[in-house]
Amino acid sequence: MDRLAMLQQFANTKPDDPFPRYGLAMEYKKLGRLQEASDQFDQLMANHPDYVATYLMAGNTLEARGMPQEAANVYRRGIAVADKARNEHAKGELEGALAAIDEGSA
Q: What share of the chain is helix, strand, coil (3-state, %, to 5)?
A: 80, 0, 20
- Which pLDDT belongs to residue 106? 56
10-29 average pLDDT score = 95
CATH 1.25.40.10 fits 3-105, yes or no: yes
The CA–CA distances, whole Å, from 52 to 61, 73, 76, 79, 97 equal: 15, 15, 12, 9, 14
**pTM listed for this prediction:** 0.92
Those residues whose C-beta lies under 8 Å from the C-beta of residue 93, and which sit 6 or more positions away, are 56
Diameter of the chain measured on Cα atoms: 47
Q: What is the pLDDT of residues 58-97, one digit of tens each?
A: 999 999 999 999 999 999 999 999 999 999 999 999 999 9
The DSSP letter of residue 73 is H
The DSSP letter of residue 16 is T
